[in-house]
Amino acid sequence: MNKIVWVIGQSAAGKETFIKYAVANPDSELICQLGYNNSKIIPFFSYEKEEILDVINKETNAVILIKWQHYNTGYDFAKSDLSELKAVFPDTANEIICLSVESDTLYARLFNKPWFDENEAANFTQEDMNNVVEIMRKNIRNYLTIGFTLAAEIDATNGYKIIEYSLLKT
């Protein structure tokens, strides 16, 4: 049976890198721990609804990894891409993998992003970063209330390690 896995994390947490790792290493210990090793892993680095629908209709044992990020607390979960896709295929499992990165590492990674504005970085504080994490916690909790499951929280600071669900703690 197919499974849709939404890979969520802060900017520069390594969502795309994680997806590439999963595709290149389907028999790794991490992928086995997640239970994805006996499935065809299909990556999506952005939400391409029609292509995803096509994969779900054609495949019978695929793990569809989708890079996902939304940015604000006013997000309408009932109208989100995640909810929309879940409604079209209600029998297809929808999971979330949340990537976490230590703040010093995350901050350093941000400077390597081509879209990152170093002038704005001076105004980006630890409190701002904490607010981003809290928004992500809230968003994930909202998805869990509408039938998504949290497959894992993964520390992506240096490699990949499944950790306790600290992001869901209040």
**pTM for the structure as a whole:** 0.85
What pLDDT band is residue 123 in, cutting at 50, 70 and 90?
confident
Question: Quick one: CA dihedral 37, 82, 48, 74, positive or negative?
Answer: negative
The more confident residue out of 154 and 72 is 154
Mean pLDDT of 41-60: 89
Give the domain ranges of the chain: 3-168
Mark residue 14 as left, alpha or beta (left: phi above 0; alpha: psi -120 to 50; beta: remaining).
left
> pLDDT tens, 63-121?
999 998 765 444 455 557 777 777 888 888 999 999 988 877 877 787 777 877 777 66
Q: Are 8 and 144 spatial neighbours (Cβ–Cβ below 8 Å)?
A: no
pLDDT at site 5 = 94
> pLDDT tens, 127-153?
877 777 777 788 888 888 888 899 998
The answer on pLDDT for 169 being more than 70 is: no
Task: Please report which residue ranges of 11-125 form alpha helices under DSSP H.
Answer: 15-24, 29-34, 49-58, 81-88, 103-110, 118-121
pLDDT at site 36 = 95
> pLDDT tens, 12-30?
889 999 999 999 999 999 9
pLDDT at site 73 = 41
Phi, psi of 10, rounded to the nearest 5 degrees: -65, 165
Task: Tell me which CATH code domain 3-168 carries.
Answer: 3.40.50
